[in-house]
Structure 1
Amino acid sequence: MSKKLIAIASTGGHYVQLSRIMKQANFDSNDILYVRTKVNANDTPSFENESLIEDVSRDTLIRSPIIAFQMLKLILKHKPKWIITTGAMPGLISIVIGRLLLRKTMWVDSIANTKQLSASGRIAKKIAHKTLTQWPDLVGENVQYKGRVI
């Protein structure tokens, strides 16, 4: 049941970027648990090593404990060495929980953020073990550029 990596992102562009990173990284798919946010109440996982969690944003922060509990359960169950996210609030919550549980963490800020890191990215760079941007001009304290996903 143990996974080497939990890869989490909000559904949509964040998840597309995360999927491309995982494909390029050449991990064995059995070593990854993909986690994405639900699109609607009837949404189901698309494949065997995918789990769904509720969504949360700045507008729905009151839901943060729900997502935190869902991620805590997944991390304790799968015991990953790494948690990687391309973002949004559920990814940030996962980074925080990962740090508390002594897991390695990585934040990859979305390619859409061309002028500055996202709000979550600005928080993540203070918490995550590694923070990456997809724009060389955004490199700074605790933020590295290793290329673009798209």
Structure 2
Amino acid sequence: MLRDPKAHGNRSLDLDVPQSRGARPKVLAVSSGGGHWVQMMRIKPAFENCDVTFVTVHESYREQVPDRKFYLVNDANRWTKFGLLKAVCRLSWIVWHERPDVVISTGAAPGYLALRLGRQFNARTIWLDSIANAETLSMSGDRIGRYADLWLTQWPHLARPNGPHYRGSVL
């Protein structure tokens, strides 16, 4: 069960996670660098009863999760088409190899790609849009909504009835 780290007790994140491959759900946590990674680290307590694998764009982040599997993927964006293709190939291999029950991302492009690929392997998906996007959703966040099982924003005024939903901020 994924827990809400801001909640008291064992409040789940409203995501029924199948545990077909063992007692602990396998979570693939994917983020870009900088604030996206900081936010992923802030929600890490929600994964305490899960088998978590982290994917990000900076080798230096490995030391923050020394007890977990860790993969690197190249950073890419809409202006680096070859970089996006390279990231898709790498993330495809990671998702195929890890077979996660849940894919979660705090953004940006690598997370978007991972959620889309995770859906192909029947993983449940969670998108937590960056707190930096205070006026509008991020481009990735805006586009991922229909593919995410749980789509969250960190700003109440950006929440909509069909998503994204607001459950608080992580910073």
Task: Give the TM-score normalised by structure 2.
Answer: 0.78
Structure 1: 4+ residue segments shifted above 6 A: none
| 8 A contact 1:45–1:52 mirrored in 2 | no
SS in 2 for 1:51: strand
| Number of aligned residue pairs | 145
Alignment identity in percent?
33
In the alignment, is the contact (CA less than 8 A) between 1:53 and 1:70 conserved in 2? Answer: yes
Instruction: Verify the 8 A CA contact 2:55 2:70 in the aligned structure 1.
Output: yes
Q: Note if contact 2:54-2:69 (Cα within 8 Å) is conserved in structure 1.
A: yes
Against the structure 1 CA distance between its residues 93 and 45, is the aligned structure 2 distance closer, same or farther, given a 3 Å change threshold? same
Offset at residue 56 of structure 1 (A): 0.4
Higher RCO (CA 8 Å, separation ≥ 6 residues): 1
Partner of 1:56, secondary structure, is: coil
Give the counterpart of 2:164 among 139, 143, 149.
143
CA RMSD of superposed structures (Å): 2.0
Query: Structure 1 regions of 5+ residues with no counterpart?
Result: none
Give the structure 2 partner of residue 18 of structure 1.
40
Shift of residue 26, structure 1, vs aligned partner: 4.7
How many Å separate the matches in 1 of 2:120 and 2:100?
13
Give distance in 2, aligned partners of 1:62 and 1:105: 25
SS of equivalent to 1:122: helix
| Contact 2:100 2:118 (C-alpha < 8 Å) held by counterparts | no
Letter matched to residue 4 of structure 1: K
- One of 127, 130, 137 as aligned partner of 1:107: 127
- Check the 8 A contact 2:78/2:84 in 1, yes or no: no
Unaligned runs of 5+ in 2: 1-21
The answer for the alignment partner of 1:49 in structure 2 is: 69
**Corresponding residue number in structure 2 for 1:131:** 151
Task: State the TM-score, normalized to the length of structure 1.
Answer: 0.88
Pairing partner for 1:96 from 106, 112, 116: 116
2:31–2:56 CA contact under 8 A, matched in 1: yes
Structure 2 CA distance for partners of 1:26 and 1:90, relative to 1, 3 Å:
closer
